[in-house]
A and B are shown apart, each in its own frame.
Chain A
Amino acid sequence: GAGVSQSPSNKVTEKGKDVELRCDPISGHTALYWYRQSLGQGLEFLIYFQGNSAPDKSGLPSDRFSAERTGGSVSTLTIQRTQQEDSAVYLCASSLEGRFYGYTFGSGTRLTVV
């Protein structure tokens, strides 16, 4: 596609429920990233996929968070047993391989846990 597409744009869920957030990167971008942006905070790195390499999961805050990337394209971030502190905007970005290239971000999914 022309840009990075994220769905849903907004998600309200009850505490304790599981949620899945989807990211469709730009075609041909081998790198895909998930970040979390809490109110008034900067961007918190969650996870990074590069091609067929093992993902860098060093930013996942707990074992309730997981992500996968199927076929080197679409990625799903799953949060199990959601907590109120999980409320944030979840941003996905993709890029070509190499530090020269900046990220292209999606518009994010605003998650609210009530």
Chain B
Amino acid sequence: AQSVTQLGSHVSVSEGALVLLRCNYSSSVPPYLFWYVQYPNQGLQLLLKYTSAATLVKGINGFEAEFKKSETSFHLTKPSAHMSDAAEYFCAVSGGTGNQFYFGTGTSLTVIP
């Protein structure tokens, strides 16, 4: 079975500070992992994905995530937060039968000026 846990439903950071959004997964098969971002009143947009190549994955808007098998984690980071990063972030795991993704409950990021 596959599942994702996102620790912290709300995260606040100051502009220019490090962003760290946590994601832990459970998967009975080698996982493919994804981070999506959702801006207000919009659909979800793919930020980055891990598909068993490099464990450090770089995505759009300066975000990156590191796959750590020993910790079953795929945390999302950005060195310096920008006001435009304020959004909802979802971690997802794909595995098992079909293409179905299993999403976490999301983390709302607030950036304080």
Contact = CB atoms under 8 A, between A and B. Distances in A.
Interface stretch (A12-20, A62-70, A72-80, A105-113): A105-113
A89 B85 CA distance: 22
A91 B43 CA distance: 7
Nearest to A108: B43
Interface stretch (B16-24, B60-68, B70-78, B94-102): B94-102
Contacts of A103: 44, 46, 101
A107 B90 contact: no
Contact of A95 (B99, B105, B106): B99
Interface residues of B, number: 23
A33 B94 CA distance: 13
B38 to A, nearest CB: 8
Contacts of B25: none
A101 B46 CA distance: 10
Name the interface size band of chain A. 20 to 34
Interface in B1-48: 32, 34, 36, 41-46
B49 interface: yes
B90 A105 contact: no
Given A99-B32, A99-B94, A106-B43, A45 B105 contact: no
A37 B36 CA distance: 14
Interface of B: 32, 34, 36, 41-46, 49, 51, 90, 94-95, 98-106
Q: Which 10 A-B pairs have the closest CB atoms?
A: A42-B105, A105-B43, A43-B103, A105-B44, A107-B43, A99-B94, A102-B46, A99-B32, A31-B99, A100-B51
20 contacts: A33-B99, A33-B101, A41-B105, A42-B90, A42-B103, A42-B105, A42-B106, A43-B103, A48-B99, A48-B100, A50-B98, A98-B99, A99-B51, A102-B34, A102-B36, A102-B46, A102-B49, A105-B45, A107-B42, A108-B43
